[in-house]
Structure 1
């Protein structure tokens, strides 16, 4: 149970809370605008906020100090993030936030599978049971019955 006291947990919980707010705010925000344009506005705001944080903390790094492999994977991550946001905002435009968000959170299940398959991570039987529960729970929440 040491994992429940880990320092990363605070940030993970904050991430979950902000992700929930993202869904609610975005659902209202895309009501009267094209979902792709809404994604652009959101992205510009994120870039501005991150630029301000880096400037305030002095954490900018020289671009030449970053390895090509890092650029490759950050580029791939950025493309995947952009595709995810475009799809997410389109889904929010078309569906209920309470149904879209749980399906989006099936990414948790996929991360577990990809982490094992591609990163050599290991999950115990209780971990896999949790992954299955997350998947089933997301589908049940999204089910319109």
Structure 2
């Protein structure tokens, strides 16, 4: 089943698992320090990925990777770790229904960064979609006062 999925199918699965992540994480940080919760989550992800890569015979020597790959995968790992620490702290302090939309503002930032750093050029239609996402984030994230 999974071998026939295209990018859109994988992206939908990513969204499903990201949604479950928010709910499970909110429940998981209820009684422990959010940084410890992030460490536990990271360890589980590490073990799961080791088993998956070994089980699907995708292992190759990481020392054979180029310096370019190591640099940007390292930076990506640092950004992921920082994101997870911030996300778990936000979930511990706020409502999942407010934290998750703000976290998804990363969609807007990805497009902006892709334009600035990767030279991508979204169409007017795509910019309109990004503006709608940004507006939706604000509507979902901030409760009415009063």
Correspondence 1:77 to 2:76: yes
CA distance in structure 2 between the aligned counterparts of 1:78 and 1:132, rounded to whole angstroms: 28
Aligned to 1:25: 24
Aligned to 1:13: 12
Taking structure 1 as the reference length, what is the TM-score of the superposition? 0.95
Correspondence 1:58 to 2:57: yes
Residue 64 of structure 1, CA deviation: 2.7
Gapped regions of structure 2 (runs ≥ 5): none
**1:1-145 alignment to 2 at 5 Å?**
7-145=6-144
Indicate the RMSD between aligned Cα atoms, in angstroms. Answer: 0.9
Residue 59 of structure 1, CA deviation: 0.7
Gapped regions of structure 1 (runs ≥ 5): 1-5
CA distance in structure 2 between the aligned counterparts of 1:8 and 1:69, rounded to whole angstroms: 25
Residue 63 of structure 1, CA deviation: 2.1
Give secondary structure in 2 for the equivalent of 1:121: coil
Taking structure 2 as the reference length, what is the TM-score of the superposition? 0.94
Residue 143 of structure 1, CA deviation: 1.2
CA distance in structure 2 between the aligned counterparts of 1:10 and 1:40, rounded to whole angstroms: 29
CA distance in structure 1 between the aligned counterparts of 2:106 and 2:86, rounded to whole angstroms: 13
